[in-house]
Structure 1
Amino acid sequence: MASDTTQCCPPQTKPSKPNVPHPPAESTGYELKGRYEAVGSYDKVYTVGPEGAKHALVVVYDIFGFWETTLRGQDILATNLGTTKIYVPDVFRGHPFPKDRDGDKDELKKFFGGTAKLDDRLPEVVEFAKGLKNEFETVSLMGYCWGGKLALMALASDKVFCCGAVVHPAMIAGEDGDDLSVPLGFYPSMDEPKDVVRRIHEAMQGKPFREKCGYHLYDTVHHGWAAARADLKDPENKKQYEDVYRRLGEYFACAKSK
């Protein structure tokens, strides 16, 4: 069954409030290690990682855009990888989904039909990555939530990326794993549909590059635990937040190698 791309974050399996996603994180005053700069066609790109790196990782954020907990994760990942430069382009061009409209299905539908229209944003991200290939030996891709769906589409339709990963992806469908052309790191939460997760995982295992793929089901944390919806005051969320960035570092270190 195809996914409904007019919807996004699934409600919590174990909700604090019925039928709504976990709320976005509040700022903690964390000081970012990277910087914003203009790169390619984007006026604002968060970058972190060493100069002279041979591998670039393009990261597509969730519907809330440049969120503190999302970018903090990139700082951790850059440290874990060491030899990778991370790029988080502002694919929404300064217009992320407003926090105060979270859960409003009508507003989400408008957002996915315009600013976050996958068919429009996907080619822009691919072109951005092509530009990076002029500077780096390899380029990979990672996405969260809405960005996870975009990443799955890119990894099935284009050979720009050497590998990719998705963390608590939204709007996933069983066939999302069928046409993968490169290794995938797949890290769903307890809230993604279990039958769809199972089917994508099975498709990964049938690929010739299956040994380079990564998979872990985070069945103790909610959708969004590694990005804008992270609750780092919660001990289990913090534990699994740190764990997924460790796993991502290990996965990309292996999968990006030729």
Structure 2
Amino acid sequence: MQPENGFVRHVGVACGCDSCSTAQGGAEKDGALSRRGFLASAVGGTAAVLAGATVSTTRPALAQSTLTPDAALKELMDGNQRYVGGQLQSLNEDLSILKAKTAEKQEPFAALLSCADSRVPVEFVFDQSIGRLFVVRVAGNITTPEITASLEYGVAVLGTKVIMVMGHSNCGAVKATIEGKAVPGQIGALYAPIWPAVNAAGPDLDAAIDANARIQATLLSEASPILAAAIKEGKLKVVAARYDIATGKVTLL
């Protein structure tokens, strides 16, 4: 049997590799399998495997030009349901084809402003492969001029239909802001954008995390003329959400 991606697939019968040949030789000595019987079993077993196999390919590209903001949001949330259920489709896609298709251009249907926390793997969380999401990450998922500029680019140039500002459970940046402890270097620069959420929600961490996501989403919607115009024209939706690290579930706020 020929190797697939450097590995030999074993289908429940001897396949002709070195390890199986040894076992086959012993079986033939015992009269358990004739060569003809072995070949018939191998062909039948392989056919059974192929009949139930999932062929790696790529999902059809989203019709970005006609996709509505609501449809884009639904695509995100449907992907999260697959992630929570352990039914990821993106892992079955052919990486070489994806690379070739996205080498010259990108057409993301959604943009994400998320925390830089390593426990928030955005593409996995929404079961999306290369080229589908425009992701901006910063500790505390805060809005700054640079962040806003990046998301304006995503909408005005790349054509994203929805922006999701996504906080997450047990966010260290929000927690540090609540505690207000002295920190080294420029880490303290994260505090100021998060303070409005802490002031609104009080010392409750979960409430502050949700308030922060909402406030940052509002800032994006109102402070950027480009985003505000796209929202008014029905071309864009900006939403706030929360990701639960323990369950993997994303909840709209």
Under a length normalisation based on structure 1, what TM-score does the superposition of the two structures give?
A: 0.29
Which structure shows the higher helix fraction? Answer: 2
Bigger relative contact order, structure 1 or 2, given CA contacts below 8 A and separation 6+?
1
